[in-house]
């Protein structure tokens, strides 16, 4: 699923995918070093998200964060949308 997300976002098949644990959530970082400048986005495909996930990740308004729509309640969705570029699957 991560590769599908990467391709849909315009990332090449040579992109690097790394995973990290932030509290209870596994977060993947997809980086395309061949873009000028290099670009990356983060994705979490867990069933639920920690309420402070944006703070844990240090997301800013220029960062793209992708997660499951079902992992968000209305409050978390609104907060994330204000703190980063939020997309759901």
DSSP string, 10-30: T--TT-EEEEEEETTEEEEEE
| Whole-number pLDDT of residue 74 | 96
Mean pLDDT of 26-30: 98
Closest alpha carbon to 80 in 61, 89, 9, 70? 61
Nearest Cα to 57, choosing from 77, 80, 88?
80
The domain segmentation of the chain, as residue ranges, is 2-88
- Residue 74 tokens read as 């209305």
* pLDDT of the residue at 1: 94
- Mean of pLDDT values over 74-84: 96
Give the residue-averaged pLDDT of 55-81. Answer: 96
Q: What pLDDT is attached to residue 87?
A: 98
Distance CA 4, CA 35 (A): 18
């Amino acid at each position: 699923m991560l590769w599908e997300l990467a391709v849909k976002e315009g990332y090449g098949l040579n992109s690097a995918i790394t995973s990290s644990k932030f509290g209870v959530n596994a977060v993947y970082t997809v980086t395309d070093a061949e873009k000028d400048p290099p670009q990356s986005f983060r994705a979490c495909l867990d069933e639920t998200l920690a309420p402070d996930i944006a703070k844990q990740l240090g997301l800013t308004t220029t960062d793209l964060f992708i997660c499951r729509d079902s992992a968000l309640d209305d409050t978390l969705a609104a907060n994330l949308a204000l703190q980063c570029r939020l997309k759901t699957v």
